[in-house]
Amino acid sequence: MWLLRGGRGSHTPAFAEDVGLGGTNVRGMTEQTSSPRRTVLSGGILVTGASGTVGRAVVDALAEAGQTVIAGMRDPRGWIAEGARRASGTAAGQQPAGPGTARIGTARPGSKPLRAPNQKPARNPAHKPGGLPTSPPPGRTVGAADASAAATGTTGGGGAIVRAFDFADRSTWARALAGVDRVFLLVPPTIGTVGRTLIPFIDQAMEESGVRQIVFLSAPGVRFDTRSPHHVVEQYLKRTRTPHTILRPNVLMQTLSTLYRDDIRLRSEIVLPAGGARVAFVDAADVGRCAARVLTEPGHLGKSYSLAGEESLSFPQVAESLTEVLGRPIRYTATTEAEFAELAAKQGVTGPDIAAQASWYRAARRRLTALPNRGIRRLTGRPATTLRGFIEDHRQTWL
């Protein structure tokens, strides 16, 4: 997600890299198939983790591009039901949906963070969000002409077909992959062992379902962390010569509006084991647009992209921006990893969630998140979202 390969302070690092593809040609990824002349694919695109922050952004961007999108999630019934409540204004804190309602995957400024009904997100010790209720039938098409289009806030002619999908339940795989020739793949926080989940799923997708490209959402610094599940998946894709593209986005701006929202809103502070680290934050919406580009354009097979913002900020600078926009003092307090983990455990945060957050800030302290680049601008033709702009757009979240 975060690693760059340019000199310190460089804004033009080696933003795309050709991955090593030695060994036998297991799945036929040759120089011809990975060239810009690749045949344009026209089947559906399965987005795994579609109810999550990045997954929703990918669904949004693909639907806007007019693609056939399959939104895979563990509980589509509850997701559609909650969308209906948001659209009708019956969900807590919501207003009736109208022409300006955000699409799938984008929360309106001032709205509560969007989340799957059954998703228990990684939390800061002070953050205890509640779950969302469940209801209607899975597998419905979500689009502008459908009643569930309003339910999810989808606008325009695009949409998504919502299907039940769970890496831990192989009986859901075949249906989710039906009619699909590309997959956006991520590692859910609930998955600890990819050898029994993601790896078999990749095999089934490529060998039984006719998938032609996998875009994998990886993480920063995984090439140096052989224990990381992201590292295992990256190496498997390369070793088997699976037609793939890897995206490594930096720390998401949405961590401030979801994981650390209550720290900021209720206690006016950000408490993290980040030390004096600097971060080139990235907006999930920008990641979604980048994913849509590499899934719909030729020339991206066998490549990896580091996606970061175009500015590098310290957490005191983040607190300063929040202070200026919110009109009240917000402070940053650096804590140790052990103190952070202990407090998180006392508040009921799960072990995997604590480990995931700790790994982010370990990478930050190692300066793996510090360097900005223009990868988003190059892929999408638009500059990356600035953190100040993100805070201004979501100001109501912290009030």
Say whether pLDDT at 181 is over 60.
yes
The CATH number of the domain where 386 resides is what?
A: 3.40.50.720
Mean of pLDDT values over 274-287:
96
pLDDT of residue 91 exceeding 80, the answer is no
* Higher per-residue confidence, 210 vs 349: 210
pLDDT, one tens digit per residue, over 254-278 is: 999 998 898 999 999 999 999 999 9
Q: Which of 248, 225, 228, 214 is nearest to 373 (CA)?
A: 248
Residue 135 has pLDDT above 70, yes or no: no
CB atoms within 10 A of CB 350: 15
Q: Are the C-beta atoms of residues 332 and 316 closer than 8 Å to each other? A: yes
- Secondary structure of residue 241 in the 3-state scheme: coil
Mean pLDDT for the stretch of residues 19-26: 40
Mean pLDDT taken over the chain? 77
pLDDT at 347 over 90: no
Residue 292 belongs to a domain: yes
pLDDT at 136 over 60: no
Distance CA 104, CA 116 (A): 12
- Asked whether the predicted pLDDT for residue 128 surpasses 80, the reply is no
- pLDDT at residue number 85: 65
Report whether pLDDT(149) > 50.
no
pLDDT band of residue 358 (cuts 50, 70, 90) is: confident
DSSP per-residue letters across 112-126? PPP--TT------TT
Q: Is the pLDDT of residue 169 over 70?
A: yes
Cβ burial of 39 (10 Å; 0-12, 13-18, 19+) is exposed
Please give the pLDDT value at position 42: 75
Average pLDDT of the residues in 29-56: 74
Residue whose entry in the numeric block shows the structure tokens 């929703």: 56
Q: Is residue 370 part of a domain?
A: yes
Give domain status of residue 5, yes or no.
Answer: no
The CA-atom distances, in angstroms, between 205 and each of 27, 67, 326 are 12, 19, 47
87 pLDDT band, cuts 50/70/90, is: low
Residue 280 lies in a domain: yes
Q: Is the pTM value of this prediction over 0.85? A: no
Q: How far apart are CA 11 and CA 395, in angstroms?
A: 29
Nearest C-alpha neighbor of 68 from the set 150, 174, 159, 139 = 159
Q: For residue 139, name the pLDDT band (cuts at 50, 70, 90).
A: very low
Token pair in block for residue 130: 């509640």
pLDDT (mean) for 212-218: 97
Number of domains the chain is built from = 1
Question: Which residues sit opposite 162 in a β-bridge?
Answer: 71
Could you tell me if residue 138 is inside a domain?
Answer: yes
In whole angstroms, give the CA distance from residue 295 to residue 28.
18
Q: What is the pLDDT of residue 30?
A: 52
Domain with 291, as residue range(s), is: 16-394
* pLDDT score recorded for residue 350: 79
Residue 162 or 129, more confident: 162
In this prediction, residue 353 carries a pLDDT of 78
Q: What is the DSSP letter of 313?
A: E
Position 108 confidence tier, pLDDT thresholds 50, 70, 90: very low
Report pLDDT for 156: 31
Residue 4 lies in a domain: no
The count of other CB atoms within 10 Å of the CB of residue 330 is 21
**Residue 397: closest CA among 269, 256, 286:** 256
Nearest CA to 384 out of 306, 278, 323 is that of: 306
Q: Is the pLDDT of residue 90 over 70?
A: no
pLDDT computed for residue 82 by the predictor:
64
Give the mean model confidence (pLDDT) for residues 20-46: 57
The residue ranges of DSSP E strands in 278-387, in sequence order, are 278-279, 303-307, 313-314, 331-334
pLDDT at 29: 62
Burial level of 120, CB count in 10 A (0-12/13-18/19+)? middle
**In the predicted structure, residue 152 carries a pLDDT above the cut 60:** no
Lowest mean pLDDT among 110-124, 275-289, 357-371: 110-124
**Cα distance between residue 124 and residue 129, in whole Å:** 10
In a domain, 149, yes or no: yes
10 is a domain residue? no
